């Protein structure tokens, strides 16, 4: 794994830039552990102060220091994105490997359910969950719901790779040696699909964070939990742009765009690394 990361940093400028952008956001989010204030408290600072040496990102109309508020918000948002990616990766790996290796009726049944989830309108379903659960819809429950809805496209991609691996020579040798189907799938085939899993995980994080921000801005999440979306919700609720508190919206938007660009660059660089011809061309071979 270290060799792969080293080669990507050395030969792929997109990966280096993406890693720098995402690393900056992660470092900023980790600062929340050293925050001197509780992010849920309001009117702990002078409201509507412009960015200054005392308040680096300024303060909002709720009397919160935006630097520390946004550090908590990005920590929660990143945690949410990672949770959704992990849950959906587990489901997509299990479904994709089972369907691709076992084939037959197992493949048909799993792909039938896969197509059902592909056709589901995710955004209206999430809004329905909000109206049913209201304040009980915390970050973990929302991540669990989105993780259970965000796996079908990647499962079909993993299945296509597993279909090719099933007829490879090393798979026949494993079968003849007496290895069980479970061991073949998760010990022999899984390493081949891991680069795809990692690249799709980045795309899945962009998708899940984007939906969470949209839901929060519209007020369809627990607005008392600091996230990037709820930060923008409160800014819109207090008409930040109209009253001139532009930094309340501009700074979180710049940071979220940085994170999205970083994740996108990591995803496309990993996709390129999967293709041997593109990888060798990068390395000058």
* Domain residue limits, the chain: 2-282
CATH superfamily for domain 2-282: MetI-like (1.10.3720.10)
User: 211-253 pLDDT, tens per residue?
Assistant: 999 999 888 888 888 899 999 999 988 888 888 888 888 999 9
Task: Please give the residue that has the higher pLDDT: either 195 or 94.
Answer: 94
pLDDT at 3: 60
Long-range contacts of 192-197 (CB under 8 A, 24+ apart): 192/161, 192/165, 193/93, 193/96, 193/97, 193/158, 193/161, 193/162, 195/270, 195/273, 195/274, 196/154, 196/157, 196/158, 196/161, 196/274, 197/89, 197/92, 197/93, 197/154, 197/158
Q: What is the band of 276 on the pLDDT scale with cuts at 50, 70, 90?
A: low
d(CA 29, CA 1): 25
Taking residue 132's Cβ as centre, other Cβ atoms within 10 Å add up to 9
pTM, two decimal places: 0.86
| Residue that has been written with the tokens 């839901």 in this structure | 215
Question: Taking the CB of residue 214, how many other CB atoms lie within 10 A of it?
Answer: 15
Find tokens 């680096």 and name the residue.
56
**Per-chain mean pLDDT for the chain:** 85
What pLDDT, on a 0 to 100 scale, did the predictor assign at position 272?
A: 74
Q: Which range (67-76, 78-87, 236-245) has the least confidence?
A: 236-245
pLDDT in tens, 121-157: 888 898 888 888 877 778 888 899 999 988 888 888 8
Residue 256 has pLDDT above 90, yes or no: yes
Flag the least confident range among 4-8, 100-104, 197-201.
Answer: 4-8
- Angle at which helices 66-102 and 104-119 cross, to 10°: 150
Q: Is 232 exposed, middle or buried (0-12, 13-18, 19+ CB in 10 A)?
A: buried
Q: Which helix (H) or strand (E) holds 19?
A: helix 13-30
């Amino acid at each position: 794994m270290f060799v792969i990361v080293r080669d990507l940093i050395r030969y792929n400028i997109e990966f280096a830039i993406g890693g720098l952008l995402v690393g900056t956001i992660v470092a900023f989010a980790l600062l929340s552990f050293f925050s001197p204030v509780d992010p849920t408290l309001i009117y702990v600072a002078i409201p509507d102060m412009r960015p200054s040496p005392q308040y680096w990102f300024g303060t909002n109309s709720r009397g919160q220091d935006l630097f520390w508020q946004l550090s908590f918000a990005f920590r929660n948002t990143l945690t949410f994105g990672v949770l959704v990616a992990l849950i959906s990766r587990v489901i997509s790996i299990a479904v994709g490997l089972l369907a691709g290796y076992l084939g037959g009726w197992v493949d048909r049944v799993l792909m039938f359910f896969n197509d059902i989830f592909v056709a589901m309108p995710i955004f209206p379903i999430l809004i329905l969950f909000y109206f049913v659960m209201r304040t009980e819809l915390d970050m973990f429950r929302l991540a669990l719901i989105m993780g259970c809805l965000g796996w079908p496209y990647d499962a079909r991609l993993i299945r296509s790779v597993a279909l090719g691996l099933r007829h490879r020579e090393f798979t026949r040798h494993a079968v003849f040696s007496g290895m069980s189907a479970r061991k073949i799938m998760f010990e022999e085939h899984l390493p081949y699909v891991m680069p795809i899993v990692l690249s799709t995980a980045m795309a899945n994080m962009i998708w899940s964070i984007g939906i969470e921000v949209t839901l929060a801005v519209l007020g369809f999440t627990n607005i008392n939990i600091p996230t990037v979306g709820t930060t923008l919700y409160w800014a819109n609720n207090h008409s930040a742009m109209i009253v001139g508190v532009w930094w309340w919206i501009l700074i979180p938007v710049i940071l979220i765009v940085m994170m999205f660009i970083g994740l996108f660059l990591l995803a496309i660089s990993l996709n390129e690394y999967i293709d041997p011809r593109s990888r060798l061309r990068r390395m000058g071979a």
